[in-house]
């Protein structure tokens, strides 16, 4: 199973940028990095994915290191509603299972 390493928990002040790191040193050359989050007991919500280049969408930015062994998810202006568990995943997600680790519990405080 694809294995990633993330901090157990992080805090962020409302309005500030939240930077969530992820190590994926065993990723192979054609595997994408995907980020999801789960708010309370809702279903996981897709955030963003990328292969080599940095990516940005309306929710977040994804920075992938040149050697692709790690990445950082950036929420540019965190709000209280961004409090959630954030999961970093890589692998053949479209053609098979997603392997969820423990993720990072992000707490955004006023």
Residues that bind other proteins (CB under 8 A): 32, 34, 36, 38, 41-46, 49, 51, 93-103
- Comparing CB distances to other proteins, the nearer of 43 and 110 is 43
- Comparing CB distances to other proteins, the nearer of 26 and 102 is 102
CB of 62 to other proteins, least distance (A): 12
CB of 47 to other proteins, least distance (A): 9
Neighbours of 24 (CB within 10 A): 22
CB of 23 to other proteins, least distance (A): 18
- Comparing CB distances to other proteins, the nearer of 15 and 56 is 56
Please enumerate in sequence order all residues whose Cβ is within 8 A of that of 52, keeping only pairs 6 or more positions apart, or say none.
64, 68
Please provide residue 19's backbone torsions phi and psi, each rounded to the nearest 5 degrees. Answer: -115, 110
- Comparing CB distances to other proteins, the nearer of 34 and 70 is 34
Task: Indicate the helix (H) or strand (E) that contains 64.
Answer: strand 61-64
Cα→Cα distances 33→5, 14, 41, 61, 97, Å = 13, 26, 23, 12, 14
The residues that bridge with 20 in the sheet, in sequence order, are 73
CB of 28 to other proteins, least distance (A): 13
């Amino acid at each position: 199973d694809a294995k990633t390493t993330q901090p157990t928990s992080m805090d962020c002040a409302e309005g500030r940028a939240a930077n969530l790191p992820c190590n994926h040193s065993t990723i192979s050359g054609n595997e994408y990095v995907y980020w999801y989050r789960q708010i309370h007991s809702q279903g996981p919500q897709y955030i963003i994915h990328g292969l080599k280049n940095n990516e940005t969408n309306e929710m977040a930015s994804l920075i992938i290191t040149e050697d692709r062994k790690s990445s950082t998810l950036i929420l540019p202006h965190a709000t209280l509603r961004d409090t959630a568990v954030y999961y970093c995943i890589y692998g053949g997600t479209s053609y098979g299972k997603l392997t969820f680790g423990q993720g990072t519990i992000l707490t955004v405080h006023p």
